């Protein structure tokens, strides 16, 4: 009979997420993970597998937890464009308020691993597509409600906003001044007028 776990796997994944988000995949060592998760090597491997398998679990948690929760706010009924503007401004404010300026784990991982980690790249493409599809639903609703001009293409705008948001978050990670980041976002949002 196996011994019960003396840790909560969900809490351990959250601790690993913070390490990967701060350091990136390649720079995170097993020692970093063991220390942050307060686990011994055997417990980590028995529960999560190797570093790569743990990272896939972290990405899943980030995408379906943190990102999924944020984007679900856009599916609420009511005026669409004010909600969309508020959402984008909130994401940018959150990024600027992070003292470590970690950026977005998705964008960070795409830049770090996509060239040589096809499975992870595929997962992240799906997440970016989910963001685009959410923006599309909001924009289609805005058009249906008369908030968006008839000549505006909700799909093209959704792709643009997805790209703009990721690019703006990269600016934040790179240390761009807040006023430059906010000006970029406001210029991009003016396309909805």
Report the pLDDT value the prediction gives residue 1, as an integer from 0 to 100. 46
Q: How far is CA 9 from the centre of its chain?
A: 21
Length of the chain: 193
Look at phi and psi of residue 182 and say left if phi exceeds 0, alpha if psi is from -120 to 50, else beta: alpha
Report the pLDDT value the prediction gives residue 50, as an integer from 0 to 100. 94
Contact of 19 with 33, CB cutoff 8 Å: yes
CATH of domain 58-192: 1.10.357.10
Averaged over successive runs of 10 residues, the pLDDT of the chain (193 residues) comes to 69 95 95 94 92 93 81 87 94 94 91 88 89 95 95 97 94 95 95 92
Q: How far is CA 100 from the centre of its chain?
A: 16
Q: Contacts from 69-72 at CB under 8 Å and sequence distance 24+? A: 71/130, 71/131, 71/134
Coil vs helix vs strand at 115: coil
pTM above 0.95, yes or no: no
How far apart CA 172 and CA 95 sit, in angstroms, is 7
Q: How far is CA 155 from CA 24, 135, 136, in A?
A: 32, 8, 5
């Amino acid at each position: 009979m196996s011994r019960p776990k003396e840790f909560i796997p969900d809490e351990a994944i959250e601790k690993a997420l913070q390490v990967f988000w701060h350091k990136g995949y390649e720079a995170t060592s097993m020692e970093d993970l063991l220390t942050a998760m307060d686990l011994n090597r055997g417990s980590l491997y028995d529960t999560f597998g190797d570093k790569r398998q743990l990272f896939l679990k972290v990405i899943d948690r980030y995408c379906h937890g943190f990102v999924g929760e944020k984007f679900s706010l856009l599916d609420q009924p009511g005026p669409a464009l004010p909600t969309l503007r508020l959402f984008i401004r909130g994401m940018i404010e959150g990024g600027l308020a992070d003292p470590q300026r970690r950026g977005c784990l998705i964008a960070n991982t795409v830049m770090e691993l996509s060239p040589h980690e096809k499975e992870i790249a595929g997962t992240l493409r799906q997440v970016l597509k989910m963001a685009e599809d959410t923006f599309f639903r909001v924009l289609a609703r805005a058009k249906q409600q008369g908030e968006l001009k008839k000549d505006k293409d909700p799909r093209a705008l959704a792709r643009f906003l997805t790209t703009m948001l990721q690019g703006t978050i990269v600016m934040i990670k790179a240390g761009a001044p807040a006023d430059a980041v906010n000006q970029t976002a406001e210029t991009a949002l003016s396309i909805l007028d």
